[in-house]
Structure 1
Amino acid sequence: MPSVDEIRGRIEAALPGARVTVEDLTGGGDHFRCEIVSDRFRGLSRVERHKLVYAIFGDEIGGPIHALSLKTLAPEEAK
């Protein structure tokens, strides 16, 4: 099972400069909530943003990572 630090690290590696917050929702390492603020999200729909993040984890979604709740924002959308 991936750790919070592993999830954060993979997102930061794929989206350099992103601000990433990750929370393990159950303590079991399989349900995570992520808030990501990245320039890469500018001009993308919510669905496109989520696809971009899900692609980082590939087949792990639905496997070791059972649930990944996302809040994806461009910098100007972050409050």
Structure 2
Amino acid sequence: MAMEAEQIETLIRDGIPDAEVEITDLAGDGDHYAARVTAESFRGMPRVKQHQAVYAALGGRMGGTLHALQLTTAVPNKE
């Protein structure tokens, strides 16, 4: 069963309330997505911990309902 991009975005925003989320469907099949997640709460956090926070927000759907996610995380630029 495929996931909609909006579902992924909602799950991430619910789990990481300060996140800005951009989702791209890479293959048009609802199974292969790219996500760019930018959040101030990632500041000072190693990249692996940032990714773990996103995976936690997805609630175990990786590898099941969500087949593949190309993940990029970042902190906002300070202005």
TM-score (norm 2): 0.87
Larger helix proportion, structure 1 or 2? 1
Q: Post-superposition shift, 1:14?
A: 1.3
- Cα distance in 2 for partners of 1:51, 1:18 equals 14
Query: Alignment RMSD, CA only?
Result: 1.4
The number of residue pairs the alignment matches comes to: 77
Q: List alignment gaps of at least 5 residues for structure 1.
A: none
1:48 is matched with 49
2:66 is matched with 65
Distance 1:59 1:16 in 2: 18
- Share of identical aligned residues, percent? 38
CA distance, structure 1, for counterparts of residue 59 and residue 14 of structure 2: 15
Matches within 5 A, 1:9-48: 9-48=10-49
| TM norm structure 1 | 0.87
After the TM superposition, which parts of structure 1 deviate over 2 Å for at least 4 consecutive aligned residues? none
Structure 2, unpaired ranges of 5+: none
Distance 1:5 1:54 in 2: 16
- Give the secondary structure class of the aligned counterpart of 1:23: strand
The answer for the alignment partner of 2:7 in structure 1 is 6
